[in-house]
Structure 1
Amino acid sequence: MQPRQREEDAWKEQIKKERQFEELEQLFSKAKRAQENVLHTFQDAWQGNRSRQRLGLVEETMTEEWQRRKKQMYAVDDAIQESRRAHQRAKFASKEADAHATD
């Protein structure tokens, strides 16, 4: 495979990863809005001290899930950024190798 083709393939893969990350961010936002809606609905539906306790448990569980998802999203973002840096390093190394080959 030629260096130019490898570079194009790497950029295509990078773009694909970034699109996936954007989709994850959108899903993440939708999930957060859904969580808030569920909590609001529970609060409206239940009244009294017991309902507040149950609502607190539901909120705690949903917050833990939210935090897990957020960590996953950040891990994906870190992987994308590292992939981008690796691609830039490889591109630079390729240019350096070409420069030394012509000397």
Structure 2
Amino acid sequence: MILTKKSPTTKESRPKTRKQPFRPLSTLVVLFAFCALVSSAYQLYELRKEVNQSIAQLNQEKEDLLQQQKLLEEEILQLNTPSYIEQLAREQLGLVRKGEIRIAPKTE
């Protein structure tokens, strides 16, 4: 008994593949998901841009406040000097030194 090997035919050598049917619903779902992803990415971009603008504005405000603080500290140092206190007393309160006569302009 001699066994002969059967040679495969062209039909048997290829696996059977079925053509997938067109599914409009799944295509629509994928398209909707892609649009939602793009929309979310754009919203995040706009939000990031707005946050960066707010940060820049707050940094500028901080710099302005630090400059104002520096000027106020300098004014405090100046206000604590005896000569400046005397000058303010003369100008605002009308005080005079001993032996001085105050001459005020006539107000109408």
TM-score normalised to structure 1 length:
0.47
Higher Cα Rg: structure 1 or 2? 2
Structure with greater helix percent = 1
TM-score normalised over the length of structure 2? 0.45
